Chains A and B, each alone.
Chain A
């Protein structure tokens, strides 16, 4: 039998539903692959028993001729989604042994669609980071390596573990969360598809909160079609989330018509950064060409507020996070350090439980909200945010989608940016603006850098227009050709 881990999600789904192989076989193949890839540190918690039990149920469903839309498909879940009875850590020491007695709405939707849980993937602690180097459970390693050196590369973050699970073929698909680029950026670094839907498309209930007005769950897969299928299972209105939008999700898979004739593609001028690597610029131009060749019209647009998105984000997100993380206090769940008085309990538990990056962001956020600084920082950032959203609204009066690079570079060497927080922030320069405006965005693997590392292109669309987003992304994907695969060095390393 062909290697079941080589299949796309769509092929896996079709195979199970069509009886070509069983869900249990499919799950087992991935369980074995996960075991063999441990050196990548993609998973925090593996759930082989649950996977096989769920797969069994899938097989029963297929036998009864009652398959659900994603029956038997094995999925890796970023460890911010609360999974009932399974450790959910958010990549943090402070939640190391937390076992939620409830299931997040998004993952419940996936299980209701027949998905199978392979395990909880690694991430930057509390989703704060763009390299997956801040996890309490150790960094994740990118299966891709540069041709000229054998150095470990970051997979990107914060959804590094999920990206790697897909890139290393140890899951049929994965889910992550994207707050400032945490799905799209690791997808670009890992050579896979990563998509963030419109804010409000997926429920946030049961998802460990980082920045409430920005967090969105999304699919991470090997193809655009897979992402459309997976999003279809994840999305939907949830009355338990006041920011969930009451809109019936369209059939995303059906939107993949392959047609972009007459589509207006905007190229935002301000994304052409000074000192941008020539390769990235070349790929961007190449992407525009591909779309033009497919019948789209390329239109220059201007988004004047672009350069202010990152600083605005690094006020708003930490501010919300500083408040969202106040509940981690050692009282009702999670880590508790010994202390004789309450203040010590709080201070020592939190200092011990949170890593440096999380502490840094809590401090910035607390400062930005504090008396005397609220107006200059938080309020100002929220006003700039309004202007950023307005930029996009105006641009979208003239175009249907925007095309940009996903990241300003390929995956960097582990540890090479750890000393410079601002340099780390700049990884998100192309992804953050869309987050602030709540727009849907997708990263598609578009080519390789000279050193062999993957590069991605990003497409952004209007709110709730994921259909046009997927349609355009698939055309781009087709034009770019079947993406290369990383040489599986970890299989030997692990053996």
Chain B
């Protein structure tokens, strides 16, 4: 494809082809086929039912909420919802897979093809195809480092509902892959169907990657399993791309295999347990029946969807007349977008000015000032020490000319430190903007008479000395002089 990034090897130009499989844990109380709890961090084997432990005679019963969440996610991915789907058994042996099979969906998944749009840094949008989404059981956890001779098995996670989201092999770089993961995560969090917490493992990626000369058919792919951060996705792709190119240019071939990433050295290694290609012997689970629901069921869910990031971004751009890049930052998290809109509404209310006029400034104060603070202190927007109403109060003081933009920044810091409202701080510290032309003229006159050489220099053509005069006025007024008034008056007097 044209425009895809390419890599120069020692013997030609290469293109990397990437597909991602994301495993997202469904936000449900109980597991996909059993009534045991799903919360993270419980004592080993305490969130395990007889069904999860695959005791003799145990049987699965599907969780209706997990089905709903999968449909909701499918709609968020603009994908086809299949009114009839089948649960299949995927058969293999591993200690954290008690049944000796995983209940998954193979030939008839609940969700079909869809699309995700990536917001590229250059402002363009790139469409990435979704192949399918299906429901499946998660496996338990094997701990290999608790003992020198034994592996320990905890089945708490065994049977938790996962949505496996499979992309088409449309990604062409580590950067795109990272953006894709972030976008999927954002959508899932908007929908509330997965908390996207990669640290805790509620969202993990498998990366399928191959290389080829542009225009050639697909090369053999390697699968890198269980990557749990965007940084590691980048790392894995970068290493694999180099490894595969070097392998082929060195006369070898890429093996169809499963690998894992060692984050400590950024190297991928073949996984021993997956050495043989597995024959999973998929067949429809005879303990279950086909999963069926009506179009009405799907339509109800569609009606209950929140506004999704792409739509919200487009709306912010038009409604609040803010830049695409700012809009992108604000919609990256649903709560941030909601804060922004509440801020604008409140500031608009207080100032009487419409959202389209004040939107950009509100966006700026959030993005430049508040988000930076929150990041540094490791807080989420929900934990912000300044709520939207208080921040709107600050905005209103700026908008009605009570304080300058410059002073507002100081007030903001003061608000953070003291928790006081902007109006109180301005009063207490006497920060009201000086806009009285008379007062400022007197100050300007004094500065001009005190700065003969600068005056001469400015008159001689050194235009940047204007800034010197502005600075002096600000110093003399403790920063409170109204910048527009200062500019106008200085222009007249100089």
Give chain A's interface residues, CB within 8 Å of chain B. 82, 88, 90, 95, 98, 100-102, 104, 204-209, 211-213, 239-243, 319-320, 322-323, 325-327, 329, 331-333, 342, 346, 366, 369-371, 374, 378
Contacts and interface: CB of A to CB of B under 8 A. Distances in A.
A82 B55 CA distance: 10
B281 A206 contact: no
B45 to A, nearest CB: 10
A212 B286 contact: yes
A325 to B, nearest CB: 8
Given A204-B59, A242-B59, A371-B279, A320 B98 contact: no
Contacts of B95: 331, 342
A208 B151 CA distance: 28
Nearest to A90: B56
Interface in B250-264: none
B74 to A, nearest CB: 23
A326 B99 contact: yes
29 contacts: A82-B57, A100-B56, A102-B55, A205-B57, A205-B58, A205-B59, A206-B57, A209-B57, A213-B286, A239-B61, A240-B59, A242-B60, A242-B61, A242-B287, A242-B288, A242-B289, A243-B59, A323-B100, A326-B100, A327-B56, A327-B98, A327-B99, A327-B100, A331-B95, A332-B54, A332-B98, A342-B151, A370-B279, A371-B279
A326 B153 CA distance: 17
B55 A333 contact: yes
Contacts of A329: 93, 100
B53 interface: yes
B7 interface: no
A323 B61 CA distance: 18
A374 B89 CA distance: 13
B120 interface: no
Contacts of B91: 322-323, 326, 369
A369 B50 contact: no
Interface string B265-305: 00000000000000101110011110000000000000000
B61 A319 contact: no
B101 interface: yes
A378 B279 contact: no
B102 to A, nearest CB: 11
Contacts of B281: 323, 366, 369-371, 374
Given A243-B289, A323-B101, A204 B89 contact: no
Contacts of A205: 57-59
Nearest to B142: A342
A98 B56 contact: yes
B62 interface: yes
A342 B142 CA distance: 13
A472 B101 CA distance: 43
Given A243-B287, A331-B153, A346 B53 contact: no
Most-contacted residue by chain B among A211, A325, A326, A370 (CB, 10 A): A326
Interface residues of B, number: 29
Contacts of A100: 55-57
Contacts of B99: 326-327
Nearest to B33: A242
A274 B281 CA distance: 38
A374 B60 CA distance: 24
User: Max chain B CB contacts within 10 Å: which of A95, A322, A325, A332?
Assistant: A332
Contacts of A327: 54, 56, 98-100
A390 B99 CA distance: 33
A206 B100 CA distance: 18
Q: Which 8 A-B pairs have the closest CB atoms?
A: A326-B100, A369-B281, A212-B286, A213-B286, A206-B57, A327-B54, A208-B56, A371-B279
Contact of A346 (B50, B58, B93): B93
B286 A320 contact: yes
A95 B56 CA distance: 10
Interface of B: 50, 53-62, 89, 91, 93, 95, 98-101, 151, 153, 279, 281-283, 286-289
A257 B439 CA distance: 113
A369 B88 CA distance: 12
A320 to B, nearest CB: 5
Nearest to B90: A323
Contact of B89 (A208, A323, A332, A342): A323
A204 B100 contact: no
Contacts of B50: 101-102
A218 to B, nearest CB: 16
From B56, B93, B283, B288, name the one whose CB has the most chain A CB atoms within 10 angstroms: B56
A88 B53 CA distance: 17
Contacts of B61: 239-242
A107 B151 CA distance: 37
A331 B150 CA distance: 12
A374 B283 contact: yes
Contacts of A320: 286
B314 to A, nearest CB: 44
Most buried by B among A88, A206, A243, A323: A323
A31 B59 CA distance: 34
Given A242-B61, A242-B289, A327-B100, A378 B283 contact: yes
Contacts of B283: 319, 323, 369, 374, 378
A239 B58 CA distance: 12
A326 B56 contact: no
A240 to B, nearest CB: 6
A205 B33 CA distance: 14
Nearest to A206: B57
Nearest to A81: B57
Q: Tell which of B151, B286, B288, B289 has the most Cβ of chain A within 10 Å.
A: B286
A243 B284 CA distance: 14
Contacts of B101: 323, 326
B278 to A, nearest CB: 10
A101 B58 CA distance: 12
Given A369-B283, A378-B283, A208 B100 contact: no
A82 B286 contact: no
Contacts of A319: 283
Contacts of A323: 89, 91, 100-101, 281, 283
A207 B62 contact: no
Nearest to B289: A242
Contacts of A101: 50
B53 A332 contact: yes
A369 B90 CA distance: 11
A411 to B, nearest CB: 30
Nearest to B149: A340
B56 A82 contact: yes
B136 to A, nearest CB: 16
A366 B101 CA distance: 13
B279 to A, nearest CB: 5
A327 B153 CA distance: 15
A149 to B, nearest CB: 40
Nearest to B57: A206
Contacts of B55: 82, 100, 102, 332-333
B293 to A, nearest CB: 15
Given A98-B56, A205-B57, A243-B287, 6 more contacts: A101-B50, A205-B58, A241-B61, A242-B59, A323-B89, A331-B98
A101 B98 CA distance: 17
Nearest to A215: B286
Nearest to A367: B281
Nearest to B34: A240
Contacts of A322: 91
